[in-house]
Amino acid sequence: MLRLFVGIELPEAVRQALAEVREAHPAARWHEPEHLHLTLSFIGPVEQEAARNIAQVLAGVPGPSFELAVQGVGYFGSPERPRIFWAGVAESPPLYRLQQRVEARLLPLGLRLDERPYTPHITLARVRQGLPLQALLQRHASLSLPAFTVDHICLFLSGGAEQGVRYEVLERFQLV
């Protein structure tokens, strides 16, 4: 089984700027800069044949390229038990339209996609109890990076490793 998701690769400059947010704290498992990305649609485990079908439908996702800027930080979970610390993005109607087009292409394949409302984010760390969340949020509340051009999407393979989660780009698809 292959554990897949569709996402946006971040330029090196953006990944390096986000790496500066990392702080040494035992209650956080920080993602390595090379694994930072923005998820459009989590697919989950699929067989090899399904992965080929997914790649075929993603090859024709319509939509022009657009600008996107990383802005602000937040978390998933409760203030008492945060699970994920993330960087957000500036309001972007083209991003939401792209995410909807991707899922519209995936749904006919019979995949069980996330039904929660889409919250664009870049996971920076997985959190264990004891992280000083409020201090972290305050320190990085004004995070704002220059916009970058989104001109392609990727099919990613997600795999666990002893040193942390690893992601590999299986295929890139130009926005057409």
Nearest Cα neighbor of 51 from 174, 161, 123, 158 is 158
Q: How far apart are CA 75 and CA 125, in angstroms?
A: 9
Q: Taking a C-beta distance cutoff of 8 angstroms, is the pair 60, 162 a contact?
A: no
Marked catalytic residue, from 35, 37, 140, 152:
37
- In the sheet that holds 166-174, the strands lie side by side as 37-46, 2-9, 152-159, 166-174
Q: At what angle do helices 93-106 and 48-58 cross, to 10 degrees?
A: 130
Strand partners, 167: 158
- Is 25 designated active site? no
Marked catalytic residue, from 25, 31, 35, 121:
121
The residues carrying an active-site annotation are: 37, 121
